[in-house]
Amino acid sequence: MSATGPRKLPIVVLISGSGSNLQAIIDAAQAGLPVEIRAVISNKAEAYGLERARQAGITTRVLNHKDYPDRESYDAALAAVIDDCGAELVVLAGFMRILSDGFVRRYEGRMLNIHPSLLPRHRGLDTHARALAAGDAVHGATVHFVSPELDAGPIILQARVPVQPNDSPESLAARVLREEHRIYPEAIRWFAEGRLKLDQGRALLDGKPISP
Ligand code: GRF
C-alpha cells in the first residue's frame, strides 16, 4: 500500500439498460473498492446506466451494434475501446449481447458476468418467470467468468433467495437484484485484490477451487 492507498484495478463496465449493478459498483468504488472505472460502454444510447455513469463523472461510450455489419466487426470495435482504456477487467452488467468466441477468448480470465439465476439452472433470458413456472423454492444470482458457451462459465459466487408463494417475476427480480448488488462488488474485489483467478477452466479463490 502506498500513501495514496492500494493500486486501483482499471476496469470497464458494459451495460445495455438500467445499470443498477453498475451503480452498485460505482458506490462500492466510492466506498473503497480498489477499482477505477475507466469507461462505461453501452450498445444502447438510451441505457439509463449511461446517465448514472455521467453523474459519477465516468467516461461513457456508445457503440451501437446496428452500425456494424456483423458480430465480428462489432466485437473488434468493442475490444479496441476496451483496450484503449487500459482495462484489466471487463465487467458485463446487463450487457445484452452474445459475444463472439474470439472476443471471449481475448478476455479469458478477465471478464466477469452476473446472471439472474442459480446457474446452471435457467441459463438465458426470462429467468425469474422460468423459476416461478418451474416451482423453484429457491432462486438467486450468479457471478461467473465468461466462457464461449452462454452463461456456462466457471462460477465464482452465488446468492440464494427464497421464492415466496405470491411472487411475480417482478417481485422476485427485485429480491434477486438486491443480492446482485451485494455479490458483484464482492467478486470484483476478489479479482482486484489478486485473489480470484481462472486456471485451466476453474475459478480459484486464494489458490483453491471454488465449489458453489
Ligand atoms: C441483472 O438482472 C443482471 O443479472 C442481468 O441483467 C440485469 C441487469 O440489471 N445480467 P441492471 O442493468 O444492472 O439494473
Ligand 1: distance of its center to the CA of 177 in Å?
A: 7
pLDDT band at 3 (very low <50, low <70, confident <90, very high): low
- Same domain? 124 vs 33: no
- Same domain? 203 vs 124: yes
Ligand 1: distance of its center to the CA of 61 in Å?
A: 19
- Same domain? 40 vs 84: yes
pLDDT of 212 higher than 80: no
Catalytic residues: 115
Rounded Cα distance between 67 and 177, Å, is 31
Task: List Cβ neighbours of 19 (8 Å cut-off, separation of 6 or more).
Answer: 40, 47, 48, 49, 50, 52, 53, 93, 94
Percent of the chain topping pLDDT 90: 96
pLDDT of 205 higher than 80: yes
Tally of domains within the chain = 2
- Same domain? 17 vs 89: yes
3-state secondary structure of 171: helix
**Among residues 96, 109, 117, 134, which one has the least CA distance to residue 18?**
96
| Confidence at residue 6, expressed as pLDDT on a 0 to 100 scale | 77
Domain that holds residue 130: 116-144+157-212
- Same domain? 100 vs 12: yes
Task: Determine, yes or no, domain membership for 150.
Answer: no
pLDDT band at 4 (very low <50, low <70, confident <90, very high): low
Task: Determine, yes or no, domain membership for 35.
Answer: yes
What CATH number does residue 14 fall under? 3.40.50.170
Q: Is 142 close to ligand 1, i.e. is its CB under 6 Å away?
A: no
Residue 48 region by backbone torsions, left for phi larger than 0, else alpha for psi between -120 and 50, else beta: alpha
Ligand 1: distance of its center to the CA of 3 in Å?
A: 36
Mean pLDDT of 119-141: 98
